[in-house]
Amino acid sequence: MRLILLGAPGAGKGTQAEIICEKLSIPAISTGNILRKAVKNGTEMGKKAKAFIDSGKLVPDEVIISIIKERLAEPDCARGFILDGVPRTVVQAEAIEKAGIEIDKVVDIEVPDDEIVKRLSGRRVCASCGASYHTVYKPSADPTKCDRCGGELIVRKDDEPSTVLERLAVYHEQTEPLKDFYAARGKLVVVEGQEQVADTTALVFKALEA
Ligand code: AMP
C-alpha cells in the first residue's frame, strides 16, 4: 500500500499515519518530522528550513523533493509507505510522479478551519521521537512524557495561534489544489475527520477498502 495522507495541519494525518503504519507494517514518512530533527541536530538543511517552519511557510520544493526521493529509496519502503505532510504542492506531486513513484491512494482528511485552530492549541509532540498527542483527544499517560519513548512532550512553536492561521492560509492556497490533482487520477478518497481518533481510523480503513 503506497498511501498519501492529505489534509490541513492538525487534521490528524500524523496520528492516523502512526496507526495505519502499525497495522500494515509499513513506514510512515513525515517530512515535518524529518525537518524538525534536522533543525534540532543543527544540520545545513535544518538551518535553511528553520525560518520557513517557524513562520508557517513551506520549505522550498527542491529541499523536500530531495528528502523524499532519498527516503523512499530506502529498503523499508519497498513494501509500501504512508506519506504524511508530503506532497504539499503540485510541484512536489509532479516530482513524485516523474520519479516513477507509484501511489495507490490519497486519503484526504477534512476538518473545518475553526476546529483545526481548537485542535492545534491542544497538540503536544514528543521532542525526541516526534509522536503526536492531544491534551483532550489523545492524552499521554503522563502529560509531560511520551508513552512511546519517555521523551519530553512540548508545544510546537508553529502551533502558536498566529502561525496556525498562516499555515492554514498556506494549506488552502498551495496544498488544497492537490485534491483536484489526485481526483483527476482517480486516487482521491475523502474522509470527514471525527472528534475521536478511532472513529476517523475506522472511516480511513473503510475508504481504503473501497
Ligand atoms: P508538519 O509537521 O507536516 O505540519 O510540517 C511542519 C512544517 O514543516 C511546515 O509548516 C513546513 O514549514 C515544513 N514542511 C513539512 N513538510 C513539508 C512539505 N512537504 N513541503 C514544504 N514544507 C514542508
Cβ–ligand 1 contact at 8 (below 6 Å): no
Cβ–ligand 1 contact at 52 (below 6 Å): yes
* Residue 210's pLDDT band (cuts 50, 70, 90): confident
Cβ–ligand 1 contact at 86 (below 6 Å): yes
User: Which protein residue's CA is at the shortest distance from atom 15 of ligand 1?
Assistant: 32
* Alpha helix positions (H), 145-209: 161-170, 177-183, 197-209
Asked if residue 124 lies in contact with residue 134, where contact means CB atoms within 8 angstroms, the answer is yes
- pTM score, two decimals? 0.92
| 132-158 average pLDDT score | 94
Query: What does the alpha-carbon distance between residue 51 and residue 64 come to, in Å, rounded to a whole number?
Result: 15
Q: Is 13 a catalytic residue?
A: yes
CA of 11 to the centre of ligand 1 (A): 14
Of the chain, the percentage scoring pLDDT greater than 90 comes to 93
Asked if pLDDT for residue 71 goes beyond 80, the answer is yes
Asked if pLDDT for residue 70 goes beyond 80, the answer is yes
pLDDT attached to residue 151: 97
Q: Tens of pLDDT along 91-141?
A: 999 999 999 999 999 999 999 999 999 899 999 999 999 898 999 989 999
DSSP 194: P
Cα distances (Å, whole numbers) of residue 75 to 18, 27, 32, 70, 114 = 19, 10, 21, 11, 40
* Residue 53's pLDDT band (cuts 50, 70, 90): very high
Q: What does pLDDT average to over the chain? A: 95
Q: Tens of pLDDT along 27-50?
A: 999 999 999 999 999 999 999 999
pLDDT attached to residue 162: 87
